[in-house]
Structure 1
Amino acid sequence: MPLTLLVALAAISWQVAVHGPLLGLDTTAQRAVHGLHHRLHSPALDRFGVLLADLGGSVPAIPALLGLAGLAAWREWRTGVRRWWLPLPTAALAAVLIPALVVPAKSWFARPGPLGLPLTPDQWGWYPSGHTATSAIAYGVGALLLGRTVAVAARRWLHTATALLCLGVGTGLVWSDFHWLLDVTASWCLAGVVLWSLNRWAGRR
């Protein structure tokens, strides 16, 4: 899986860098979303889309990550796990990785957003999506850490709910014209690699 995600991320990044034909998916998705906007004409749905997108911000995603890690550490301490504190540095590492990976990429690609406005000097660019990466990594790592301390059935529900939440964030970003579809897709690929790596690293310890 991580190799597939890396290949997909590399392919999307290459197309964004050279303005390749794959970017046609973005305009196709944008036209479809705008068509739905016109047909539904639902202010409530638009507000819900913005709400979902906002869940990908550093607040509340990073506090949620730290809170879930703290809960996981407490549960492992209660059960006598020797390295019960490990979820805390894992969460801190995940929180640091998000800007370390996303910000340089945004600055390098300097991709304009769906509204077509040119970048201002204080903007990094839209690719990859920071909100998507933040939500997927923060909520995902939190769910992985807490999932290790609960029963299998509860872990499945937790992972499923987290995946749906992250899917909602990406959908809200595209629906609200905050990001192109490929911005979101690339960040999901990046987050998948980070989650797989951190899960393997934490599992060995």
Structure 2
Amino acid sequence: MLTWQVAGHGPLRALDERLGRAVASGGLPAGPAEFLADLGNTAVALPVLAAAVVRSLWRGRRDARQRAGDGAAPPRWWLPPLAAALTAAAVPALVVPLKLWLARPGPAAMAGAPDGFYPSGHAATAAVLYGLAALLLYRGRRQTPGRRRVGPAVASGLVLLDAGVGTGLVRRGYHWPLDVLGSWCLAGVLLALWWAVCDRWAAGERRAVGLAWTPRARGHREGADGARPAAP
């Protein structure tokens, strides 16, 4: 709906531009707004995601070695961080064609810049890359009662961070509000797909581990080790 309103010069687009001019004219001080807007730069967000990917790979490799030593089927520990890297690469692959197709002019502060402000690349980068980093770390935590309390805290932190980046972009006149909202919608789809894919892999891994540790499988394994096989 947002894209249709922007492309068709609908009433929501006119309201959006009035709101954008009002936000850019005052409110949040320029210094903090610039800082928040800069958090959407790839040079800032990409190292954060890279650190989370490296930590996820290290922890997954360590856990896989422990499980292999216990005789369990080794999990595909490298799949969530690999999927995170591919999801991050999908951001410019989706945002840039939309920008070129819609060619929306920017606010007055961006006069002279080439058209193509919807959706916001900075807002999409911040939402997806920081979101992936947080979700990678969250999924890597052990299943404990405290893990249930971490989820809402992670979600709240991401919402506040994305809201700050979006507010900074509009306050500094780099984007219209709908540019930011469209990027958040896109980010929500990408993060949900990443989570669904990881859950599917995890479910297949649990099935594989469960089959590996059935009583019959344990009996064959003990027999191979020279111990007495389990009774049928």
Shorter-chain TM-score bucket reads: 0.7 to 0.9
- Select which of 35, 47, 50 maps to 2:31: 47
SS of the residue corresponding to residue 84 of structure 1 reads coil
Q: Which has the larger radius of gyration?
A: 2
SS of the residue corresponding to residue 104 of structure 2 reads coil
Query: Counterparts of 1:1-205 in structure 2 under 5 Å?
Result: 11-34=1-24, 37=26, 45-80=29-64, 82-115=75-108, 123=114, 125-150=116-141, 151-205=147-201
- Corresponding pairs, count: 187
- Aligned-residue RMSD, C-alpha: 2.0
Distance 2:158 2:22 in 1: 26
Deviation of 1:167 after TM superposition, in Å, equals: 1.3
- CA-to-aligned-CA distance 1:54-81 (integer Å, 9 cap, x gap): 1001111112112112212322333336
Paired residue type of 2:126: S
Seen in structure 2, the aligned counterparts of structure 1 residues 31 and 125 have a Cα distance that, compared at 3 Å, is: closer
Seen in structure 2, the aligned counterparts of structure 1 residues 72 and 188 have a Cα distance that, compared at 3 Å, is: same
Paired residue type of 1:125: G
- What 5-or-longer segments of structure 1 have no aligned partner? 1-10
Distance 2:37 2:105 in 1: 18
Paired residue type of 1:170: G
More displaced stretch, 189-198 vs 60-69: 60-69
Distance 1:116 1:170 in 2: 16
Seen in structure 2, the aligned counterparts of structure 1 residues 159 and 60 have a Cα distance that, compared at 3 Å, is: same
Instruction: Calculate percent identity across the aligned residue pairs.
Output: 45
Residue pair 2:40, 2:126 contacting (<8 A) in 1 also: yes
Deviation of 1:34 after TM superposition, in Å, equals: 4.3
Residue pair 2:40, 2:123 contacting (<8 A) in 1 also: yes
Paired residue type of 1:18: G
Seen in structure 2, the aligned counterparts of structure 1 residues 93 and 128 have a Cα distance that, compared at 3 Å, is: same
Residue pair 1:70, 1:87 contacting (<8 A) in 2 also: no
Runs of 4+ in 1 over 4 A off after TM superposition: 116-120
Distance 2:76 2:115 in 1: 39
Paired residue type of 1:65: L
Deviation of 1:118 after TM superposition, in Å, equals: 5.8
Deviation of 1:119 after TM superposition, in Å, equals: 5.7
Seen in structure 2, the aligned counterparts of structure 1 residues 199 and 118 have a Cα distance that, compared at 3 Å, is: same
Residue pair 1:65, 1:142 contacting (<8 A) in 2 also: yes
TM-score by structure 2 length? 0.74
Deviation of 1:176 after TM superposition, in Å, equals: 1.0
